Amino acid sequence: MKAPKPKRNPGRAGPVAPASPAGAAGGGPPDDAGGHRKPLILGTLLFLLVAGIFMPAVTHGFITYDDPEYVTHNAHVTGGLTWSNVRWAFQSTEASNWHPLTWMSHMADCQVFGLQPWGHHLTSVLLHAINAVLLFIVLRKMTGALWRSLFVAALFGLHPLHVESVAWIAERKDVLSTAFGLLTLWAYARRCELDRARDPRALNFYGLAVLLFALGLMCKPMLVTLPCVLLLLDCWPLHRWSGASAKARMALVAEKLPFFSLSAASSAVTLLAQAKGGAVASIEEFPWGVRLANALVAYCWYLGKSLVPSRLAVFYPDFAERPALLESVGAGALLVGITAACVALARRRPYLLVGWLWFLGTLVPVIGLVQIGGQSRADRYSYLPLVGVFIMVAWAAAEATASWTHRRLVLGLAAAAVLGGCAAATCRQLAYWKDGEGLFRHAVAVTENNWVAHANLSATLAKSSPTEARAEYQEMLRILAGFAQTYVKKGVDFEKAPGHLPEAIKAFRTAVGILPILAGPHNSLGSALMRTEGGRAEATEEFRVATRLKPDYAAAHFNLATALASAPGGQDEAIAEYQEVTRLEPHDYAAHYCIGRILARIPGRREEAVAELQRALEAKPDFMPAREMMERLGSAPQ
């Protein structure tokens, strides 16, 4: 008997994916959609589960790392939503970013909750739970796959790598921008659905998608790669690319131009803001080879942490040093191998290539190719990119078990085990964020040379345990001094190599920037600048800084005296600096000789000059320059 054709409601466009909603969208047997009631119930349960797991965050407080800048010590934010504060939000590049909606979100929290941290945490928890539901809605709308979409959304909601984005008040920009990003995907999917049905409302949803994307960029520029995600979704699961003519494909690219334009504008504003805040590292500081090697290793690091999310920390001390060659080559080989496999399987399993490129592409802004600050990896950077990996896992598992007899039972138990493990790990990681002391003690325990953790632990303990706070501060100085000394050594090596003085100066500047309170890097920088044309004035200032930081630094006093001696009117101060050297080092024959040489050119001070030259010879009898000068002055050396 021939099955009757289902009646079509002309007012509904149906699932976006062509052919069978689930089977064609991802391989494997279709999920049981269960009408509209089941997704509603599952979405509600997902929200309650994710919110419940993260709800202990409302008992946490503010921390010393970035929270003062974003909330507690920011008068514009604590002042609430006023016209002047909103105007400031759109004009400000504070925190080296332009994200006015993020500022306004914090202002709204202060307007409602004041500086009670529970309210600020509650907002972030609810936004994260909403994001999980939005991801479920978007994936189901695009693929028609109920259970796979639910699993991906639950993984997103419960994965411990996402604790940082939710539990850290200063990272509100993560959960807020992702909310707008997922709404953009929903509006785009709805637009495609209506466009396929030739419904004129499609244009409205296209405009809504562009607007939502713009709002997301005003929360955090991490979304700049979202237009590329839209192109990926056109290939799978929307199936707008395959089978389309060349003209139709050009149209698909052209319709993304408003999105790409917004991304370009956001990128430009962000780079300007970061450069203004001094957060962007130059190519000379971190060459492309170092950046690429770090990026390869970082990609693998995120993959590893997504599978085994252990030893997570609020800050990973990484000064973008070049990884070991074997490590970089191994990471590159792994990434190339996975990419090649996904390309080879793209025709039969398109979700693998789409998910993989989602992961690779959305990490580009934070992978270290544009080096911002002192770390090239962070848990929060994975908030949206890991969705691509989760899609790969969910759809691959469904297809691999398609012919199994007890498939639903096996997949259900496996999903429960994975999600249960994630929930347990998330609860444990969330507990470290209860207060600054626990958070930074954990970071110190699971990382090495973590100067940021030691610095913030010192600030946290300042009132409760001053002695331990001082010890943590000294440990921070020790670590930073080690980093700075690494660059000083690089600078010294460059100085020895002919033609590499500019590289030496850059290395010394980096050392000074890492720990400005160290006298040595300032002295080294000054010495290198003295060898450049027109560098004497800046070198003199570097020597002055070195002597202020370390008053008994004889070498810096000597270099300062030498720089002053060649400056107009600097002779008296130069003599004083050389005399300070002789006070610190009485047998420094060079300082005595330099004093004598200056005095010899001053009328009426010949006897003083002879006395200084004599002291130089007493310290070093075979020092011929002093002996020759005494002879020119008509005084035989004694």
Q: Is the pLDDT of residue 21 over 50?
A: no
For the residues 242-255, what does the mean pLDDT come to? 93
For residue 372, give the 3-state DSSP assignment. Answer: strand
For the residues 588-603, what does the mean pLDDT come to? 91
* Pair 420, 509 in one domain: no
Q: How confident is the model at residue 1 (pLDDT cuts 50, 70, 90)?
A: very low
Q: What is the pLDDT of residue 321?
A: 59
Domain contains 22: no
Q: What is the pLDDT of residue 3?
A: 44
Q: How confident is the model at residue 281 (pLDDT cuts 50, 70, 90)?
A: low
Looking at 436, 461, 496, which one is the last position of a domain? Answer: 436
Percentage of residues in the chain with pLDDT exceeding 90?
77
pLDDT digits (tens, 9 = 90+) for 417-447: 999 999 999 999 999 999 999 999 999 999 9
Distance CA 21, CA 29 (A): 10
Q: Which residues contact 149 (CB under 8 A, 6 or more apart)?
A: 135, 136, 139, 140, 143, 394
For the residues 381-408, what does the mean pLDDT come to? 96
* Pair 408, 512 in one domain: no
For residue 280, give the 3-state DSSP assignment. Answer: strand
Domain contains 457: no
User: What are the distances in angstroms from CA 238 to CA 16, 41, 235, 297, 605?
Assistant: 6, 25, 6, 32, 91
For the residues 509-534, what does the mean pLDDT come to? 93
Burial of 561 (0-12, 13-18, 19+ CB in 10 A): buried
User: What are the distances in angstroms from CA 544 to CA 206, 240, 586?
Assistant: 61, 67, 21
Q: What is the pLDDT of residue 317?
A: 85
For residue 81, give the 3-state DSSP assignment. Answer: coil
Q: What is the pLDDT of residue 627?
A: 87
* Pair 508, 432 in one domain: no
Structural domain of 306? 27-436
* Pair 199, 300 in one domain: yes
Q: What is the pLDDT of residue 67?
A: 97
236 Rama class: left (phi>0) / alpha (psi -120 to 50) / beta:
beta
Q: Which residues contact 401 (CB under 8 A, 6 or more apart)?
A: 28, 407, 410, 411
* Pair 414, 494 in one domain: no
Contact between 95 and 173 under an 8 Å Cβ cutoff? The reply is no
Among 15-19, 232-236, 359-363, whose mean pLDDT is lowest? 15-19
Neighbours of 276 (CB within 10 A): 11
* Pair 538, 432 in one domain: no
pLDDT digits (tens, 9 = 90+) for 448-496: 999 999 999 999 999 999 999 999 999 999 999 998 998 999 999 999 9
Q: What is the pLDDT of residue 19?
A: 36
Q: Which residue has the tokens 């060349």?
A: 246
Q: What is the pLDDT of residue 96?
A: 85
Mean pLDDT, all residues of the chain? 90
Q: Is the pLDDT of residue 636 over 70?
A: no
Q: Is the pLDDT of residue 157 over 90?
A: yes
* Pair 205, 323 in one domain: yes
Contact between 312 and 168 under an 8 Å Cβ cutoff? The reply is no
* Pair 494, 428 in one domain: no
CA angle 63, 66, 72 (to 5 degrees): 70
- Residue 280 phi/psi, 5° resolution? -90, 125
Q: How confident is the model at residue 5 (pLDDT cuts 50, 70, 90)?
A: very low
* Pair 514, 421 in one domain: no
- Residue 287 phi/psi, 5° resolution? -60, 165
Domain contains 474: no
Among 35-39, 100-104, 388-392, 587-591, whose mean pLDDT is lowest? 35-39
Contact between 31 and 148 under an 8 Å Cβ cutoff? The reply is yes
Contact between 399 and 329 under an 8 Å Cβ cutoff? The reply is no
Nearest to 49 by CA among 426, 435, 393, 434: 426
Q: What is the pLDDT of residue 215?
A: 98
- DSSP structure string for 213-237: HHHHHTT-GGGGGHHHHHHHHHHTT
Domain contains 11: no
Q: Is the pLDDT of residue 366 over 60?
A: yes
Rg (CA), the chain: 32
Q: What is the pLDDT of residue 286?
A: 63
Contact between 377 and 298 under an 8 Å Cβ cutoff? The reply is yes
Domain contains 452: no
Residue 8 carries which DSSP code?
-
Residue 256 carries which DSSP code?
T
* Pair 417, 493 in one domain: no
Distance CA 491, CA 107 (A): 46
Q: How confident is the model at residue 630 (pLDDT cuts 50, 70, 90)?
A: confident
Helices 146-158 & 117-143 angle (0-180, nearest 10): 160
Distance CA 390, CA 355 (A): 8
Q: What is the pLDDT of residue 7?
A: 41
pLDDT digits (tens, 9 = 90+) for 208-218: 999 999 999 99
Residue 52 carries which DSSP code?
H
Tokens, residue 336: 């190339």
- Residue 73 phi/psi, 5° resolution? -110, 15
Domain contains 244: yes
Q: Is the pLDDT of residue 10 over 60?
A: no
Q: What is the pLDDT of residue 569?
A: 83
Distance CA 289, CA 189 (A): 39
* Pair 625, 508 in one domain: yes
Distance CA 408, CA 24 (A): 19
Q: Is the pLDDT of residue 577 over 90?
A: yes
Q: How many folded domains does the chain comprise?
A: 2
Q: What is the pLDDT of residue 22?
A: 37
Q: Which residues contact 223 (CB under 8 A, 6 or more apart)?
A: 177, 180, 181, 184, 213, 216, 217, 263, 266, 384
User: What are the distances in angstroms from CA 324 to CA 290, 294, 317, 510?
Assistant: 10, 10, 16, 22
Distance CA 568, CA 185 (A): 68
Q: How confident is the model at residue 285 (pLDDT cuts 50, 70, 90)?
A: low
Among 12-16, 178-182, 613-617, whose mean pLDDT is lowest? 12-16
* Pair 384, 258 in one domain: yes
Burial of 457 (0-12, 13-18, 19+ CB in 10 A): buried
Contact between 564 and 540 under an 8 Å Cβ cutoff? The reply is yes
For residue 572, give the 3-state DSSP assignment. Answer: helix
Q: How confident is the model at residue 13 (pLDDT cuts 50, 70, 90)?
A: very low
CATH number at residue 528: 1.25.40.10
Label residues 402-414 b or e (16+ Cβ within 10 Å = b).
eeeeebeeebeee
Q: What is the pLDDT of residue 322?
A: 65
Looking at 409, 436, 463, which one is the last position of a domain? Answer: 436
Q: Is the pLDDT of residue 149 over 70?
A: yes
